[in-house]
């Protein structure tokens, strides 16, 4: 015990320092999402996140958009608790056979106009979980997808860039 304590005190930190976030760039991206949403919808954007079977890595990055550090709600991006209040369904993970029906019901409960964003490589085609007996496939196996944001997992900045692209090209 004494030896472990001594090692912990004397050893240097083994992890690499996190890269410094570009706060100005993130704020600019978030403002662009809000501008595009107001031009398209006349109000700010509401997002319902659905985990259809992910490892939760993608959720960590999505939740980061809302944490005290990024705090993107100040720019009008809102995560909502019900699909009935959502403009965008942000779906993560491969779609498991157990979640397929729930995802379909969530999609049907979301009012038009609605957009589906599949987040992460697994949401495209099942990713590393493809071929599992428990996995139905990518999100497109269950519902129509308007945009794929690839990455394992995609960063908050990539998520924002995806939302801007979605709103700018949405009909
Ligand atoms: S894309 Fe990567 S982080 Fe996201 S659910 Fe798949 S394995 Fe996890």
pLDDT at 140 (0 to 100):
93
Secondary structure E strands in the chain: 46-51, 78-79, 88-92, 95-96, 115-119, 135-137, 147-149
| Positive/negative CA dihedral, 66, 149, 84, 94 | negative
Q: Does the beta carbon of 58 sit less than 6 angstroms from any atom of ligand 1?
A: yes
Ligand 1 near 138 CB (within 6 A):
no
In this prediction, residue 19 carries a pLDDT of 67
Q: Best substitution site from 52, 64, 122, 129 to test ligand 1's pocket, by max atoms within 8 Å of Cβ? A: 122
Amino acid 121: pLDDT: 95
- How far is ligand 1, taken at its centre, from the CA of residue 130, in Å? 12
- Comparing C-alpha atoms, which of 139, 100, 102, 136 is closest to residue 121? 139
Mutate to test the pocket of ligand 1, among 92, 94, 155 (most ligand atoms within 8 A of CB): 92
Compute the distance from residue 123 Cα to the ligand 1 centre, in Å.
8
Can you give the pTM of this predicted structure?
A: 0.83
Identify the segments of the chain with pLDDT beneath 50.
Answer: none
What confidence score (pLDDT) does residue 118 get? 95
């Amino acid at each position: 015990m004494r030896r472990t304590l001594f090692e912990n005190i004397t050893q240097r930190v083994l992890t690499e320092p996190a890269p410094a976030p570009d706060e100005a760039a993130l704020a600019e991206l978030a403002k662009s999402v809000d501008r595009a949403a107001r031009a398209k919808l006349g109000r700010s954007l509401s997002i319902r996140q659905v985990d259809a079977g992910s490892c939760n890595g993608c959720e960590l990055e999505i939740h980061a958009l809302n944490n005290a550090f990024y705090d993107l709600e100040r720019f009008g991006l809102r995560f909502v608790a019900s699909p009935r209040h959502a403009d965008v369904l942000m779906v993560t993970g491969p779609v498991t056979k157990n979640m397929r029906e729930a995802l379909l019901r969530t999609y049907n409960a979301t009012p038009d106009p609605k957009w589906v964003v599949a987040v992460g490589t697994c949401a495209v085609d099942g990713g590393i979980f493809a071929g599992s007996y428990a996995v139905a496939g990518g999100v497109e196996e269950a519902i129509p997808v308007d945009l794929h944001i690839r990455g394992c997992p995609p960063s908050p900045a990539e998520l924002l860039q995806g939302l801007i692209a979605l709103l700018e090209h949405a009909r």
